[in-house]
Amino acid sequence: MPLMDMLTQTLGTTAVNHMAKKMGVDSQLTRAAISLAVPMLIKSLANNASNKEGARSLNNALERDHDGSLLDNLTGFLDGNTQQSKTTDGAGILRHLLGDRRSNVEQVISRDTGLDSNTTQGLLETLAPIVLGQLGRQKREQNLDDFDIAMLLKDAERRQEVEQTPEQRGFIGSLLDKDGDGKIDADIAQKGLGILSSLFGRR
């Protein structure tokens, strides 16, 4: 099953409602924020795994810290009842995955959903271990190697892009540009709101 489909199952109604309650926000708003955040995380992972060194580094991280066992007790993780480790360190994952671009992603999600910055930060730190856990589970169950992981992410990225216009692809690409300076101008972020709202069906 494609990675995005697996994540959709994992982040189903029960998980979304649980996250919404913990954050103190509406479930529909939480779902909208997840629908913005997860594709960006997938694209960033695909970018990082687009060369041999990056793919090997990601594969090693999955073997070492993200075998998918986190998903066996997802409720415990969402409640904060699991032991702190690299497996659950969302901030550390985002630092490695997004670097200076993290603020760009948070800014756009907050503006597009109305979530405050602290809630958006917490949501991303919750989602990052889940996304890596799902990827790690597929690696373990399907015995995937470096190349397989890169192709799995590339396929997920392509499936997303099928639904995107060139403008949408361009905006998300700029937002996650590996050569960017980590900053995003307010007018560019504002432009992105309409693009992403259209992309994910929000009006």
Q: Which residues contact 198 (CB under 8 A, 6 or more apart)?
A: 165, 168
Number of domains observed in the structure of the chain:
1
125 vs 88: CA distance, rounded Å: 9
187 burial (CB, 10 Å; 0-12 / 13-18 / 19+) is exposed
Looking at residue 192, its pLDDT comes to: 47
Cα separation of 117 and 108, whole Å? Answer: 10
Read off the pLDDT of residues 92-139 as tens digits, 9 standing for 90 and up: 999 999 888 898 889 888 888 889 999 999 999 999 999 999 999 999
pLDDT, tens digit (0-9, with 9 covering 90-100), for 31-64: 989 988 898 899 899 999 999 999 999 999 999 9
Q: What is the pLDDT of residues 166-184, one digit of tens each?
A: 666 666 766 776 444 444 4
Percent of the chain at pLDDT exceeding 70: 81
Residue among 164, 154, 138 nearest 1 (CA): 138
Query: Residue 158 belongs to what domain range?
Result: 3-199
pLDDT surpassing 60 at residue 11: yes
> Tell me, what's the pLDDT at 187?
44
Tokens at 10, concatenated: 């994992």
